[in-house]
Amino acid sequence: MAVIEIEIPEIILENHQNLDEIKKELFENLVIDEYRKGNLTIRESARLLGLTYVEFMYFLGKRGISFCNASKEELDEDMESLQKLLAENK
């Protein structure tokens, strides 16, 4: 794993208890960003954060991030199709 060095402005440092907290938050945000871009799978992201598959989905949910990369419109269309299919098979 590569190591990088960054400068953290005092105004940000004041909002955190210690540097380890900042490091953890930055790493989590990087993993989330890479997941959202499609560069990491759920399993890869979970492993990097030391979480299980399900724990990572909850982790995303707590941050208001869907583990499904579909848009609301795509999900609405899927729901409508599913409802039609269920109605046809009654």
Tens of each residue's pLDDT in the chain, 90 residues: 898 899 989 998 999 889 999 999 999 999 999 998 989 988 999 999 999 989 998 999 999 887 776 677 777 887 888 888 888 887
| pTM of the complete model beyond 0.75 | no
Domain boundaries, the chain: 17-88
* Cα 81 to the center of its chain, rounded Å: 27
Q: What is the CA radius of gyration of the chain?
A: 19
Alpha-carbon gap, residue 28 to 44, rounded angstroms: 13
Burial class (CB in 10 A: 0-12, 13-18, 19+), 46: buried
- Could you give the count of Cα atoms lying within 13 Å of 49 in the half-sphere of its Cβ? 28
In this structure, are residues 51 and 67 in contact, taking their beta carbons and an 8 Å threshold? no
Q: What is the pLDDT of residue 72?
A: 75
